[in-house]
Amino acid sequence: MTVTAVVREKVVIALRKSNPCATLEEIGGDVGVTRERVRQILNKANLPTKKYITTYLCNHCGDPIPRRRTYQNPKFCSTKCYSAYSRIQIACTFCGTLKEYRAKEVTWKIENRGRSSSLFFCSKQCQGKWFGKNYGRQLGDHTPRSKGRKYNDEEEE
């Protein structure tokens, strides 16, 4: 073994001890050797070859996620964080107040509806007022909307 090989081994061991979360490829890139050579050096020194993940952090709040025995990487610390992460706020078309919607519901509405995809209301009252204002009968227009249905303002025969 040459002097540079001994120095490289010491540097690889020092990097693994100082940063257990680093991958073999990252260590090899810093030292200038392949990840297979890094694995061989770490096996020779009885050090772990797989990177050590200390904790997972919640995608919504950033808190550490408690360790569970699952095969999947956890993304949220609770169902509350999951539901808050998957919701967005949209302003009401009529009054402008903010209301939370599920992100999937909003994307479905925009993809599957045509012209009315940009209409979001905070309540049925706002929806009714908006449609009455934009599509309702105008002042002075007393024509019935459908035949056979009687309105209160019409005279009965």
Tens digit of each residue's pLDDT (9 = 90 or more) over 97-127: 998 888 888 888 777 766 566 788 888 999 8
Give the percent of the chain with pLDDT over 70.
74
Count of Cβ atoms closer than 10 Å to residue 135 Cβ: 7
C-alpha 34: how far from chain center: 36
40-74 per-position pLDDT tens digit: 998 998 887 877 666 677 888 877 777 766 656 67
Quick count: other Cβ atoms within 10 Å of Cβ 54? 8
pTM (predicted TM-score): 0.42
Please count the residues of the chain.
157
In a shared domain, residues 98 and 118: yes
Residues of the domain holding 14: 3-44
| Number of domains within the chain | 3
Residues 6+ apart with CB under 8 A from 21: 51, 52, 53, 54
Is 31 within 8 Å of 11 (Cβ atoms)?
yes
66 is a domain residue: yes
* Residue 154 domain flag: no
143 domain-assigned: no
